[in-house]
Amino acid sequence: MSADSASINLTNHFLIAMPGLSDELFGRSVVFMCEHSERGALGLVINKPSDILLPRLFEKVDLPMGRDDLNELPVFQGGPVQTERGFVLHDAIVGEEGESVYASTLSIPGGLEMTTSKDVLEAMAAGAGPRRVFVSLGYASWGEGQLESEITENSWLTVEADPSVIFDAPVAERYERAMALLGLQPWMLSPDAGHA
């Protein structure tokens, strides 16, 4: 591996699919990168909702939905790996010891955490838990050097993540909002642009 590719760290960045990427899951997708190292990368697709709303997911794991503010929140298709497993992206909640208050939590530089343990859902069921949450089933992953190779092949644009795109932007606008962080609009990159 070259020194250049070893120095890339896209943790807390968005991967934005180039308009020419026609893959069913990754076409027009925005992926929030939770972890990126020389061993590989892990992220969550933030703009592909499933047809399940959060209360239905809670029902499936035998928990009541204790927060009215989450009743209309869709569960997202986070990626093609472990699609039966839940991933909760949320604002960091730190306990007295300076560590996350939830088990099985990955702290992400920039103030977010990704939790895979049921305790975060139990907190939400009790009417508490993180204020801002994004819930997905499954995740996206890349092996060693694979993501760097895809970026070199112009499959992805990258930009530092803005949590408001994840938690506040309407789902249908997340792709355009992520592009706008680069000062771009999708039509500017379209292979058909400029042809009569």
pLDDT digits (tens, 9 = 90+) for 145-196: 999 999 999 999 999 999 999 999 999 999 999 999 999 887 887 665 444 4
In this predicted structure, what is the pLDDT of residue 188?
A: 82
Domain of 54 in residue numbering reads as: 3-189
Percent of the chain with pLDDT over 90: 80
User: pTM for the complete prediction?
Assistant: 0.91
Structural domains counted in the chain: 1
> What's the rounded Cα separation, in Å, for the pair 38 and 65?
39
Residue 122: pLDDT above 90? yes
Contact between residue 186 and residue 176 where contact means Cβ atoms under 8 Å apart: yes
| pLDDT (0 to 100) of residue 3 | 43
Phi, psi of 46 (to 5 degrees): -100, 5
Output the average pLDDT for the chain.
91
Confidence label for 117 from pLDDT (cuts 50, 70 and 90):
very high
Decide if 196 is inside a domain: no
The enclosing domain of 149 has a CATH number of: 3.40.1740.10
- 46 occurs within a structural domain: yes
* Three-state SS letters, the chain: CCHHHHHCCCCCEEEEECCCCCCCCCCCCEEEEEEEECCEEEEEECCCEEEEEHHHHHHHCCCCCCCHHHCCCEEEECCCEEEEEEEEEEECCECCCCCECCCCEEEECCCEEEECCCHHHHHHHCCCCCCCEEEEEEEEEEECCHHHHHHHCCCEEEEECCHHHHHCCCHHHHHHHHHHCCCCCHHHHCCCCCCC
pLDDT (0 to 100) of residue 191: 60
Q: Write the CB contacts of 164 (distance below 8 Å, at least 6 apart in sequence).
A: none
> Across residues 115-119, what is the average pLDDT?
95
Residue 150 maps to a domain: yes
Confidence of residue 22 (pLDDT cuts 50, 70, 90): confident
Strand partners, 53: 74
Residue 194 falls inside a structural domain: no
The token pair that represents 97 in the structure block: 């010891």
d(CA 132, CA 84): 22
**Cα distance between residue 91 and residue 35, in whole Å:** 16
Residue 134 counted as domain residue: yes
Asked whether residue 146 is assigned to any structural domain, the reply reads yes
* pLDDT beyond 90 at 56: yes
Q: According to the model, what pLDDT value does residue 53 have?
A: 97
* Dihedral sign from CA coordinates of 185, 191, 193, 194: positive
In a domain, 195, yes or no: no
